Structure 1
Amino acid sequence: MGNTNNLITQLSLYYTTLQKVEKREEENYQIRDYRRERTSKVRNIKEKQPAIDSQLVFNNLFQIIYEHPELKSYNLNSDDIAVISFFCYKISKEYQLEFSFEEIIRIFPDKDWDFREQIEFIQSLIYREILSFSNNPLYGSAEDINLILYKHYSLNSLIFHILLGKSPIKEARNIILIDYEKRPFIETVCYALNHLFDSYNELNLVDSECTMYYGRTINKLLSTALRVSHKLKSDNPYKIFVHTYGLDSFWQKCLLLIYKYNKSEKIIDYRILSALLSENKEQFNHFTEKMLHNNPLQQAELLKKPGLFSSNGLVLSNSAIKELFEYHYEDIDIRTYISSSPYFSLISPEQTLNQLILPADSFQSVVSIINQLKNPDLDTLASWGLITASLSDGKETLNGCNILLYGEPGTGKTYIAGIIANELNKPLLKINTEAVRSHYYSDTEKSARKLFKNMRQLHEKIAPVFLLNEGDSLMHCRNTYITTTVDSEENALQSVFLEELETFPGILIVTTNLRENLDYAIFRRFRYKLEIPVPDYDCRLKLWNLHLNEKIPGSAKIDLTSLAQEFSLTGGEIRNVVLNACHHLISNPDLKELTYDILYYYARMESSSNLDKRNKKIGFRN
Structure 2
Amino acid sequence: MNGYSTNALERLAKEYADLAIMSERKGKYEDAIKYYKKAAEVLKKIITLNRDIMMKETYIEYIKEYEKRAEFLEKNLQKLASGPQEGSQAQDVDIDLLVSPPPNITFNDIVGIEDVKKVLKRSIVYPIKRPDLYPKEIGWSKGVLLFGPPGNGKTMLAGAIAREINAAFISVDAASIMSKWLGDAEKNVSKVFSKAREIWLNKGVPVIIFIDEVDSLMGIYSTEVGGEVRVRNQFLKEMDGIHTKGSSELIFVIGATNKPWVLDMAFIRRFQKRIYVPPPDKETRKMLFKYYTKSIKIADDVDFDHLAEITEGYSASDIKDIVRDAYEMCIEEMFEKSIEEPPPLSMKHLKTALSKRSPSISQDMIKVFIEWNKKFGAI
TM-score by length of 2: 0.60
Relative to structure 1, is the Cα distance of residues 488 and 370 closer, same or farther in structure 2, using a 3 angstrom cutoff? same
Which of 392, 405, 419 is matched with 2:146 structurally? 405
Q: Which position in structure 2 is the counterpart of 1:19?
A: none
CA distances 1:39-78 after superposition (whole Å, capped 9, x unpaired):
xxxxxxxxxxxxxxxxxxxxxxxxxxxxxxxxxxxxxxxx
| Unmatched tracts of structure 2, length 5 or more | 1-92, 243-248, 367-379
Alpha-carbon distance in structure 1 between the residues aligned to 2:308 and 2:276: 22
Q: What is the match of residue 430 of structure 1?
A: 171
Alignment pair present for 1:573 and 2:333 = no
* Structure 1 residues 376-395: aligned runs within 5 Å: 376-378=130-132, 380-382=134-136, 385-386=137-138
Task: Tell me by how many angstroms 1:614 deviates.
Answer: 6.7
CA distance in 1, matches of 2:101, 2:298: 34
Residue in 2 that maps onto 1:534:
279
From 308, 318, 327, give the equivalent of 1:564.
308
Matched letter for residue 508 of structure 1: V
Tell me by how many angstroms 1:467 deviates. Answer: 1.6
* Aligned: 1:466 with 2:209: yes
Describe the shift of the 1:442–1:451 C-alpha distance in structure 2 as closer, same or farther (beyond 3 A).
same
Distance 2:297 2:157 in 1: 30
Q: CA deviation at 1:533?
A: 0.5
Aligned length: 258
Query: How far apart are 1:404 and its partner, in Å?
Result: 1.0
Alignment of 1:147-296 (within 5 A): none
Question: Alpha-carbon deviation of 1:443?
Answer: 2.5
Check conservation: 1:351, 1:415, Cα contact below 8 A. yes
SS of residue in 1 equivalent to 2:357 = helix
Alignment counterpart, residue 599 of structure 1, candidates 323, 333, 350? 350
The alpha-carbon distance between structure 1 residues 380 and 567, as it changes in their structure 2 partners (threshold 3 A), is closer
TM-superposed deviation, 1:615: 10
TM-score (ref. length: structure 1): 0.38
Corresponding residue for residue 443 of structure 1: 184
2:155 equivalent among 398, 401, 414: 414
Q: Which has the higher contact order (CA 8 A, sep 6+)?
A: 2
Share of identical aligned residues, percent? 24
Compared with structure 1, are the counterparts of its residues 487 and 456 closer, same or farther at alpha carbon in structure 2 (3 Å cutoff)?
same
**2:356 aligned counterpart, secondary structure:** helix
Cα distance in 1, alignment partners of residues 145 and 95 from structure 2 = 25
Change (3 A) 1:519 1:562: same
1:585 and 2:330 aligned:
yes
**Structure 1: how far apart are the matches of 2:115 and 2:94?**
42
What is the alpha-carbon distance in structure 1 between the residues aligned to residue 118 and residue 140 of structure 2?
22
Give the whole-Å Cα distance in 1 for the aligned partners of 2:285 and 2:231: 40
Partner-residue secondary structure (3-state), 1:431: strand
Which of residues 369, 380, 386 is equivalent to 2:123?
A: 369
Please report how far the alpha carbon of residue 347 of structure 1 lies from its aligned counterpart in structure 2 after TM superposition: 5.2
SS in 2 for 1:405: strand
The one-letter amino acid of 1:595's match is S
Q: Which amino acid aligns with 1:493?
A: V
Q: Are the equivalent residues in 1 in contact too, given 2:182–2:226 (CA < 8 A)?
A: no
Distance 2:117 2:282 in 1: 15
SS of alignment partner, residue 333 of structure 2: coil
For residues 66-105 of structure 1, what are the structure 2 equivalents within 5 Å?
Answer: none
**Once the two structures are superposed, what CA deviation does each residue of 1:385-415 show, in whole Å capped at 9, x if it has no partner?**
44xxxxxxxxxxx467111111111111111
Pair 1:523-2:268 in alignment: yes
CA gap 1:567/1:614 in 2 versus in 1, 3 angstroms: farther
Residue 496 of structure 1 corresponds to which residue in structure 2? 234
Please give the alpha-carbon distance, in whole angstroms, between the structure 2 residues aligned to 1:403 and 1:373. 14
Partner residue, 2:110? 356
Query: Take 1:439 and 1:539, find their aligned partners in 2: how far apart are those partners?
Result: 39
- Take 1:444 and 1:587, find their aligned partners in 2: how far apart are those partners? 48
Letter in 1 for 2:308: A
Distance 1:344 1:399, change over 3 A: farther
Give the distance between the partners of 2:215 and 2:239, measured in 1 at CA: 14
**Are residues 342 and 558 of structure 1, via their aligned partners in 2, closer, same or farther at CA, if it must alter by over 3 Å?**
same
**1:490 positional shift:** 1.8
CA contact under 8 A between 2:113 and 2:277: conserved in structure 1? Answer: no
- Secondary structure of the residue aligned to 2:188 is helix
1:304-343 per-residue CA deviation (whole Å, 9 max, x = no partner) reads xxxxxxxxxxxxxxxxxxxxxxxxxxxxxxxxxxx95365
SS in 2 for 1:474: helix
Asked if structure 2 preserves the Cα contact closer than 8 Å seen for 1:437 and 1:447, the reply is: no
Say whether residues 1:543 and 2:288 are aligned partners.
yes
Counterparts of 2:96 and 2:173 in 1: how far apart (Å)?
A: 7
Instruction: Give the Å deviation of 1:460.
Output: 2.1
Higher CA-based Rg: 1
For 2:297, the aligned partner's letter is P
1:555 Cα deviation after fit: 4.8
Match of 1:553, as an amino acid?
A: K
Quick check: 1:405–1:512 contact (8 Å CA) kept in 2? Answer: yes
Q: Secondary structure of 1:468's match?
A: strand
Report the CA distance between 1:544 and its aligned residue. Answer: 0.9
Unmatched 5+ residue regions in structure 1? 1-338, 387-397, 617-622
Structure 2 SS opposite 1:422: helix
Q: RMSD across aligned C-alpha pairs, in angstroms?
A: 3.0
User: Superposition pairs for residues 124-139 of structure 1, below 5 Å?
Assistant: none
Distance 1:440 1:570, change over 3 A: closer
> What SS does the aligned partner of 2:171 have?
strand
The 1:545/1:352 distance shift into structure 2, 3 A limit, reads same
